[in-house]
Chain A
Amino acid sequence: MSFNEGEETQLVERAAAGNNEAFAALFEAYYSMINGFAYRMCFIREDAQDVAQETFIKAARSLQSFNKRTSFKQWLYRIALNTCHDRNRSQVRKERIATAYAEEGQTLEVADYSFVHRALESLDESLRLTITLVYMEGMSHADAASVLGCAEATMSWRIFMARRKLKRLIGDAA
């Protein structure tokens, strides 16, 4: 499901007024996208589902504070990003990821590109986020900069750094 900007604005306004149908339409349009983003950030399917759920609960609670001058999609990304940050701070989670890698493919849904996963996981979070938003979510540098709250030039620099590191890491592993 996709909307043009005007339709989306109307849906957001109706949802903010408590219209369940409008909120469900927004949910349908963006749930898979946010779940995919969360998976790329969390690497564990169940965690990604929890983050996606939490993202929409937070969005539902704070729709009234949504600034209509920004993109609803980017706003959702920011909520998901903050939710991921909160989770990733947990030491327990870091141990879960380590265990998941050790079990190789049982907890993680790792297919042919497990070495890419590993390389991404080893990047600093800011670089990993940049790669995730630009290459996997298909965002422009400007949109990704807006989600991350940094300058577009910073994004370009991060992309350069991330690609250089990934080339080395993946090149070694492949």
Chain B
Amino acid sequence: MKDDMLDRALRGISLPAPSEEARAKALARALVALSNSDAVSAHRHGIGLRWILATGAITVVCAILIFVLPKSSVESSPTDTSILGQVAKLFPDRLEAVVERQGSVDVLLAQSDLPLSEQPVILVLSRGREVVRVLSYGGRRVCLRLNGQEACVEVLAEGDGNVIVAGKDFVWSKGNPVQVEGFSLRAHILSPLS
């Protein structure tokens, strides 16, 4: 075999394109990893290593209290809006939700285009220590596996900033909290990025 034939053969190997879903999941998971990295957290808050060590004990106590005390508000941060926004850039018309569950992240995509929505929302479903965080948009329908069952909900963002979550046989609102497949639900809108 001649050199130029070998070169052509080596360069001629076709590469299958990665699936769009794999690409979206990879981005979402990497962004969550970035936001969870200790170094980034410290950088964001301008915290030095010595300060982290000095306050380590307090942090541990606070972490325990977080698990023990009932939660009164939905945990969210500007990072959530940012992660949702970056994944939505890949699929502006098909992104249903970014779902974070026990450290793993999944991206839910619709098969066809979805109506335009710009109001990001967060749903937090919790049962004991199991927490499912759902980043989505008002007007989206999201289907999740909860307690072995598929639960589909419509997420509605109201003009006054409240969120309504409607399932097959329930409607959740701040004033009417209900459980979904044994999970308590909290939801609110996410602030758009400035």
Closest to A45 in B: B16
Which of the segments A3-11, A82-90, A106-114, A150-158 contacts the partner chain? A106-114
What is the bound-complex CA distance between A163 and B9, given in angstroms? Answer: 12
Residues of chain A lying within 8 A (CB to CB) of residue B3:
163
Residues of chain B lying within 8 A (CB to CB) of residue A60:
30-31, 33-34, 37
Contact pattern, A 138-174, Cβ under 8 Å of B = 1, otherwise 0 = 0000000000000000000000000100110011001
Query: Once the chains bind, are B13 and A117 in contact (CB under 8 Å)?
Result: yes
Query: Once the chains bind, are B89 and A24 in contact (CB under 8 Å)?
Result: yes
Residues of chain B lying within 8 A (CB to CB) of residue A56:
26-27, 29-30
Q: A109 touches which one: B16, B30, B86 (CB < 8 A)?
A: B16
Closest to B7 in A: A135
Residues of chain A lying within 8 A (CB to CB) of residue B111:
none
Shortest distance from the beta carbon of B168 to any chain A beta carbon, whole Å: 33
Shortest distance from the beta carbon of A37 to any chain B beta carbon, whole Å: 10
Query: Once the chains bind, are B43 and A16 in contact (CB under 8 Å)?
Result: yes
Residues of chain A lying within 8 A (CB to CB) of residue B10:
116, 131, 135-136, 166
Query: Once the chains bind, are A116 and B19 in contact (CB under 8 Å)?
Result: no
Q: B30 touches which one: A45, A59, A111, A117 (CB < 8 A)?
A: A59
- What range describes how many residues of B lie at the interface? 35 or more
Q: A20 touches which one: B18, B25, B35 (CB < 8 A)?
A: B35
Give the contacts of B79-130 with A (CB-CB under 8 A): 79, 82-83, 85-86, 89
Q: A136 touches which one: B11, B34, B40, B41 (CB < 8 A)?
A: B11
Kindly state whether residue B194 has any CB partner on chain A within 8 Å.
Answer: no
The tally of CB-CB contacts under 8 A between chains A and B is 124
Residues of chain A lying within 8 A (CB to CB) of residue B64:
none
Give the contacts of A36-57 with B (CB-CB under 8 A): 36, 39-40, 45, 48-49, 52-53, 56-57
Query: Once the chains bind, are B40 and A53 in contact (CB under 8 Å)?
Result: no
Kindly state whether residue A69 has any CB partner on chain B within 8 Å.
Answer: no
Query: Once the chains bind, are A113 and B12 in contact (CB under 8 Å)?
Result: yes
Query: Once the chains bind, are A17 and B6 in contact (CB under 8 Å)?
Result: no
Query: Once the chains bind, are A27 and B35 in contact (CB under 8 Å)?
Result: no
Q: A18 touches which one: B1, B7, B30, B44 (CB < 8 A)?
A: B44
Residues of chain A lying within 8 A (CB to CB) of residue B40:
16-18, 63-64
Q: Which 9 A-B pairs have the closest CB atoms?
A: A64-B39, A53-B26, A60-B34, A109-B16, A18-B40, A56-B30, A171-B1, A20-B82, A24-B86
Contacts A17-B40, A32-B17 given; 20 further ones with Cβ under 8 A? A16-B43, A17-B44, A18-B37, A18-B41, A23-B30, A24-B31, A24-B86, A27-B26, A39-B16, A45-B16, A56-B26, A59-B30, A60-B34, A109-B16, A111-B13, A111-B14, A113-B13, A116-B13, A135-B11, A163-B6
